[in-house]
Amino acid sequence: MRAMIALVSGQRMQNVIPCFQKGLEFAEVHLVRSREADVVGSSMARAWRDTRDTLARAAVVHDAEPAIDAYDIRPARETVRAVLDRLLARRLEPVVNFTGGTKCMAVGAYLAAVEAGCTALYVDTDNERLLWYFPDGRVIAEPFDLKRMDISLYLKAYGLTVSQHGHPERARRLVPLLETVLAFWPHCASRLEEWAREVKERKKDTLLRLSDGLRLFEERFLGGLVAAGLLEREAGGLRPTEDGVRFLTGEWLELLVYHLLRRRPAGRQRGFDHVWWQVKLAGVENELDIAATGRGRLVVIECKSGDPGGQDTLNRLQALRHRLGLFARLCFVTSRPADGVSGAFRERAREYGIKDIITRENLLKITDILTKTHTS
């Protein structure tokens, strides 16, 4: 049986990924921490707790004692070597994951593995692979295969708990409606925004009617809304139900993005292993419009139909980025065309670490865009 020795780090995924790699199992994980982790309420204490709680789903977790000086190679070397000796005495197969911790801790851990003649492991997230360093000098790269690592697991690694997310069955029922939007995209976007403005102003008192333009789209789309129970027929027009108000004022874009990310193009694999919509987190006010995982990364997408919003939108995304660490990437999707997003908004978004702003023109390519920039 294998046992992993890992170094507690603010970036939890380096220690989580090996335990959820397909075909790789560890009976035990032994965590080596710095003294900072023993400071109650510190960021490193939270990282230690979150890592331990997450790894407990896959293995028995032990804490190596005592905590060590993070900036001295010798304590890390001695502590890891002591754990290795105990594991070898029990006839377990130890693996030293030296990816986390400080550089001094990583060097000490690697030296201990070499001295003991044990396998070392580096989690190369940039190139989506595990690098195995064997005692005989071989270095073998193993590509990530992390379908077992879903959204709730990733969030748990950062101390967050999913309390609820959009029901996939509801999304499936609306697929014909979403396909109608895609068939007429991007020409139908302006009409969808017009309806959203009308409904926001009058809510359930809105009566929707056919216009002179895009009549085929309107007939199909409004008919689909009626069939889905989102509109009710009344003399002189169509009145939105409570669910219809929510759908027309922005949920349609969230579901459209969700549908696009879950699609499996002919002859191609899906870009993401897991996709959820309207993800609510315990103790967190704002929900995640879309969350998706693939190859060890989490993508969080904020969707805005109509006006992209301003500083409030950016502040919310920045707070999420800070909480979710380097392995989470943020994306902003708007139904507006590219020239409808100001240069000031784009510049501030870049400063806040938002890698992509996807507009009306390139929405249909969202999966290709995100799999290139967020899982590579």
pLDDT in tens, 190-200: 999 999 999 98
pLDDT at 182 over 60: yes
pLDDT at 33 over 90: yes
Q: What mean pLDDT do residues 42-69 have?
A: 97
Q: What mean pLDDT do residues 143-164 have?
A: 92
Q: Looking at the DSSP assignment, which residues form a beta bridge with residue 291?
A: 276, 300
- Considering the chain, what percentage of its residues have pLDDT values greater than 90? 73
Q: Give the model's pLDDT for residue 221.
A: 94
Q: Give the model's pLDDT for residue 92.
A: 98
Q: Give the model's pLDDT for residue 376.
A: 45
Of 353 and 40, the structure prediction assigns the larger pLDDT to 40
Q: Range with the lowest mean pLDDT among 162-166, 252-256, 319-323, 327-331?
A: 319-323
Of 98 and 326, the structure prediction assigns the larger pLDDT to 98
Q: Give the model's pLDDT for residue 270.
A: 67
Q: Give the model's pLDDT for residue 316.
A: 80
pLDDT at 203 over 80: no
- CA angle 367–369–373, rounded 5-degree value: 115
Spell 104-142 as b/e; 16+ CB within 10 A means b. Answer: bbbebbbbbbeebebbbbbbebeebbbeebeeeeeeeeb
Contact between 336 and 362 (Cβ < 8 Å): no
The closest alpha carbon to 237, from 220, 222, 217, 221, belongs to 222
Alpha carbon distance 172, 228 (integer Å): 11
pLDDT digits (tens, 9 = 90+) for 109-144: 999 999 999 999 999 988 989 999 999 999 999 999
Mean pLDDT in the chain? 91
Q: Give the model's pLDDT for residue 212.
A: 65
Which of 111-120, 152-161, 217-226, 256-265 reaches the highest mean pLDDT? 111-120
Q: Give the model's pLDDT for residue 269.
A: 62
Q: Give the model's pLDDT for residue 236.
A: 75
Q: Give the model's pLDDT for residue 235.
A: 78
Tell whether the torsion through CA atoms of 117, 24, 273 and 163 is positive or negative: negative
Q: What mean pLDDT do residues 46-64 have?
A: 97
The closest alpha carbon to 341, from 357, 318, 317, belongs to 357
Of 35 and 372, the structure prediction assigns the larger pLDDT to 35
Domains of the chain in sequence order: 2-146 (3.40.50.10770), 169-250 (1.10.10), 265-373 (3.40.1350.10)
